[in-house]
Amino acid sequence: MSKLKTFSVGGIHPDKHKITSACPIEDAGIPETVFVPVKQHIGAPAKILVQKGDRVKTGTLIADADGIVSADVHSPVSGEVIKIEEQTGETGYLETMITIKTEGDEWEESIDRTPDLVSDISASPEEIVNIIRSAGIVGMGGAGYPTPVKISVPAGKKIDCIILNGIECEPWLTADDRLMQEKGEQIIIGAKILNKALGIQKAVIAIDENKPQAIETLHQLTRRYVGVNIAVCRTKYPQGAERQLIAAVTGREVPPGCLPVDVGCLVQNVGTVHAIYEAVQKHKPLFERIVTVSGDDLENPGNFRVRIGTPASYLIDKAKPLGTPGKIIFGGPMMGVAATNLAAPVTKTTSGILLLKEDSVNIFEPTACIRCGRCAESCPQGLEPFAIAGFVRRGEYQSAKKIHVLDCMECGCCSYICPAKIPLTDYCKLAKYEIRKKK
Amino acid sequence: MSEIITANIIVLSLIALAAAVVLYFAAQKFKVENNPLAEKIAALLPQANCGACGKAGCKDFAEACVKADAESFAHLYCPAGGSKVMTAVAKELGFSTPEHEPTVAVLHCNGTCENAPDKVEYVGLQSCRLANRAFVGKTGCPNGCLRLGDCVANCPFGAIEMDKKTGLPKVNPDKCTSCGACVRICPRGLYEIRPRGENGVMLYVACSNRQKGAVARKNCKAACIACMKCAKICPEITVENNLSRIPASVSPQTWGAELAAACPTGAIVYTGNKGKENEQA
């Protein structure tokens, strides 16, 4: 095999823990009530279209995008809207949610529920963007940036490279891995749809080498599709980050303050591309996703197809924890959010729910910095976290800005590698928050 | 030998002379006009450069004092120095001393370890501003004190201390200069600069909760539940967004004991009644 691709600056190798890689995607079923937040994306919250007492079908539009950077929200179940009020989300803060009581599972008639593969793309490029917008699709890798905005290329710029992000570099998570193994062909057609929408011929699916099954499956499939290739990357965290992935696959560097489109690249998560396939070819809006429920001490960890709005506690019951978990994380262990409320629902961006044992969550007292420089070595953005932490301790946020703390993407490499266990990522986050507040 | 020494002395003297001439003209050109009076006043100020007066620092404040006339001088006040410093400044400038009520910072939260027990653990950088972004707080109250002590670390006068027993920061009214650093740093806006009152007797609502009463009570026993009892007793009190606010104009001496006794959750703090305060704290 030729030399594997990867990004050159920084990166770490955390333990993989991909124990659910061989677990087929299971249907999680439909809970009795779902809680659908109106803001599951970056941008303005969606405007609520339903009222208490309204009856909705699965796939009915219940909240409309408010502005360009926003996304539609569709009902994930059929039933009755029983409450529209603020409820606690995973961080404990209040979020506006639409509560729907489930009755049966009646889908909108327009949705094609057959399992047949539709490979002919009949929609025109403009239609594709409109369908993606009305299906409420957002980046499903974690950030939740509305996809139609991302694929509407600004005038004067040109995209020549579409990268499908199947890296999934976070430990434990296997949702994208399983999706590539089971729905490989759908993802490839999704890539073709993106090609058509942007008027270019090629797409690259980037996969970490630690997913041999997915690589094999897609390798077989891409032989039949001209223009879709696979780029196998050497496993390293955070390869799934947009900038690092572009550097790994194309060798192009996205300058600070610029977007991938400035270097002619578009990166889409494979989950998002699968959702695009379902929206364009099957007329199915985004109301369910694959969630990995994993952790140590679980009887039934696995990958579940989950309706948006399903409470986390419902999924945790499915996974059957053997003991009391010490820490529950929404997302991956490196960048995810520690949950304080288990009634919080799965959203469009929840890629996993992790239940870690109390004794596997290491809590360290930070000690003094020994100036070893490992944080700077591991930073994929080439920053100096130890220096940033020093400035933040003294409250010199403008000095921290001068050494480019705003380019930090909070991947957590520095905190992970620090032998003194200093929460360096936290310092960077605080600096970014303070600088943005002062503007 | 003596020739070399003489030559050296002459050459060096000439260089020194040339440098002196250059320096003289440079000093004339870049001369900074300093008002001796402003310097005198700056010497009277605490030199904490805390910015509480609204100026860039003590020097800036001193210059503003010098430029001020009798009317605008009345608006200038150094909270860190207090009336003692202002009397000295006024004497220096020949103005009358402006009247200024002494103020102090108060924390509008009574979510002590006992009233609002911890529900979750927090691991990471011990900073309220960061924790406020990451999650709702250990107690579950989205408006209450996070108890991580950003105000303690940022008080320029060391007037705030973490009370180990309650878990809440405690303002020392004797050290507090009402500079407002805590008001600016607190991510939840829990601090307010209030008149210190006669003999330090104060009356305020120690809660900032804006959730409905039943929800707030789940997290904290001392939450204001907007029951309106205080508003019925004293018409000046307003209740908005599920939260009662006692304006500083409500006299603690007249209303304090009655309001504190009437409050069903103990959210109203009346520092005149020492027994009552200890019970809450």
CATH number at residue B42: 1.10.15
Q: Which residues of A touch B123 (CB under 8 A)?
A: 363
Q: Are residues B69 and B45 in the same domain?
A: yes
Domain count of chain B? 2
Task: Judge contact between B153 and B128, C-beta under 8 A.
Answer: no
Strands A302-307 and A25-27: parallel
A265's tokens: 């690249």
Nearest to A430 among B123, B130, B136 (CB): B130
* Residue B277 maps to a domain: no
Distance (Å) from the alpha carbon of A253 to chain B's nearest alpha carbon: 30
> What share of chain A in percent tops pLDDT 70?
99
**Helix, strand, or coil (residue B184):** helix
Q: Do A340 and B140 touch (CB under 8 A)?
A: yes
* Residue B250 maps to a domain: yes
Nearest to B129 among A338, A363, A430 (CB): A430
Distance (Å) from the alpha carbon of A328 to chain B's nearest alpha carbon: 11
- Name which of B126, B136, B188, B241 to mutate to probe chain A: the one with the most chain A Cβ atoms within 10 A of its Cβ: B136
Sign (positive/negative) of CA torsion B105, B106, B111, B114?
positive
* A287 Rama sector, left if φ>0, alpha if ψ -120 to 50, beta otherwise: alpha
Q: Do A91 and B136 touch (CB under 8 A)?
A: yes
Distance (Å) from the alpha carbon of B214 to chain A's nearest alpha carbon: 13
Q: Are residues B128 and B41 in the same domain?
A: no
Comparison of pLDDT for A171 and A364, the residue scoring more: A171
Longest Cα–Cα distance of chain A, Å, equals 64
Instruction: Say how many C-beta atoms besides its own lie within 10 A of residue B16's C-beta.
Output: 10
pLDDT at A55 over 90: yes
Looking at chain B, which residue has its C-alpha nearest residue A424?
A: B125
CA distances from A213 to A21, A181, A182 (A): 9, 7, 10
Task: Using a CB–CB cutoff of 8 Å, tell me whether B133 touches chain A.
Answer: yes
Q: Are residues B165 and B249 in the same domain?
A: yes
Q: Are residues B89 and B108 in the same domain?
A: no
Distance (Å) from the alpha carbon of B240 to chain A's nearest alpha carbon: 18
Task: Judge contact between B242 and B211, C-beta under 8 A.
Answer: yes
pLDDT of res. A374: 95
Q: Do B124 and A423 touch (CB under 8 A)?
A: yes
Q: Do B123 and A363 touch (CB under 8 A)?
A: yes
Q: Are residues B203 and B71 in the same domain?
A: no
Q: What pLDDT digit, counting tens, does each position of A210-255 carry?
A: 999 999 999 999 999 988 999 999 999 999 999 999 999 999 999 9
Q: Are residues B120 and B255 in the same domain?
A: yes
* Residue B19 maps to a domain: no
* A224 Rama sector, left if φ>0, alpha if ψ -120 to 50, beta otherwise: alpha
Q: Do B133 and A426 touch (CB under 8 A)?
A: no
Count contacts between A and B (CB, < 8 Å). Answer: 43
Rounded-to-integer distance, Cα A308 and Cα A136, Å = 12
Last residue of a domain, one of B26, B60, B93: B93
Average pLDDT over residues A363-392: 94
Query: Angle, to 10 degrees, between the axis of helix B36-44 and the axis of helix B82-93?
Result: 160
> What share of chain A in percent tops pLDDT 90?
78
Looking at chain A, which residue has its C-alpha nearest residue B211?
A: A94
Q: Do B129 and A94 touch (CB under 8 A)?
A: no
Q: Which residues of B touch A433 (CB under 8 A)?
A: 129-130, 133
pLDDT of res. A242: 93
Q: Are residues B65 and B121 in the same domain?
A: no
**CATH code, domain with B237:** 3.30.70.20
* Residue B25 maps to a domain: no
Distance (Å) from the alpha carbon of B86 to chain A's nearest alpha carbon: 30
pLDDT of res. B48: 84
* Residue B5 maps to a domain: no
Q: DSSP E strands: which ranges in A146-264?
A: 161-166, 203-208, 228-233
Q: Are residues B67 and B153 in the same domain?
A: no
Sign (positive/negative) of CA torsion A101, A107, A111, A113?
positive
Q: How many residues are present in chain A?
A: 439
Q: Do B137 and A92 touch (CB under 8 A)?
A: yes
Q: Which domain holds residue B68?
A: 36-93
Q: Do A338 and B135 touch (CB under 8 A)?
A: yes
Residues of chain B with pLDDT under 70: 98, 273-281
- Name which of A426, A427, A434, A436 to mutate to probe chain B: the one with the most chain B Cβ atoms within 10 A of its Cβ: A426
pLDDT of res. B131: 92
Q: Do A427 and B125 touch (CB under 8 A)?
A: yes
Looking at chain B, which residue has its C-alpha nearest residue A328?
A: B120
Distance (Å) from the alpha carbon of A116 to chain B's nearest alpha carbon: 43
pLDDT of res. B281: 40
Q: Are residues B78 and B158 in the same domain?
A: no
Q: Are residues B64 and B147 in the same domain?
A: no
CA distances from A333 to A14, A345, B56 (A): 10, 18, 44
- The CA-CA-CA angle for residues A211, A186, A194, to 5°, reads 100
Which residues are B205's β-sheet partners? B268
Task: Judge contact between A176 and A205, C-beta under 8 A.
Answer: no
Q: Which residues of A touch B130 (CB under 8 A)?
A: 426, 429-430, 433
Q: Do B140 and A92 touch (CB under 8 A)?
A: yes
Q: What pLDDT digit, counting tens, does each position of A128-182 carry?
A: 999 999 999 999 987 889 999 999 888 889 999 999 999 999 999 999 999 999 9
Chain A interface residues (partner B, CB cutoff 8 A): 88, 91-94, 337-338, 340, 363, 395, 423, 426-427, 429-430, 433-434
Looking at chain B, which residue has its C-alpha nearest residue A92?
A: B136
- Phi, psi of A283, deg, nearest 5: 60, 30
Q: Which residues of A touch B125 (CB under 8 A)?
A: 423, 426-427, 430
pLDDT of res. B277: 46
Last residue of a domain, one of B93, B115, B131: B93
Distance (Å) from the alpha carbon of B254 to chain A's nearest alpha carbon: 39
pLDDT of res. B280: 43
Strands across the sheet with A61-64, in order? A47-48, A61-64, A73-74
pLDDT of res. A2: 53
Looking at chain A, which residue has its C-alpha nearest residue B128?
A: A430
* Residue B6 maps to a domain: no
* Residue B23 maps to a domain: no
- Phi, psi of A314, deg, nearest 5: -65, -45
Distance (Å) from the alpha carbon of B122 to chain A's nearest alpha carbon: 9
Task: Using a CB–CB cutoff of 8 Å, tell me whether B136 touches chain A.
Answer: yes
Average pLDDT over residues A373-385: 95
pLDDT of res. B36: 84
pLDDT of res. B201: 86
Specify the pTM: 0.86
* Residue B24 maps to a domain: no
A253's tokens: 């560097």
Last residue of a domain, one of B93, B123, B141: B93
Q: Are residues B243 and B184 in the same domain?
A: yes
Which residues are A208's β-sheet partners? A233
Q: Do A340 and B125 touch (CB under 8 A)?
A: no
Q: Are residues B66 and B139 in the same domain?
A: no
Q: Which residues of B touch A338 (CB under 8 A)?
A: 120, 134-135
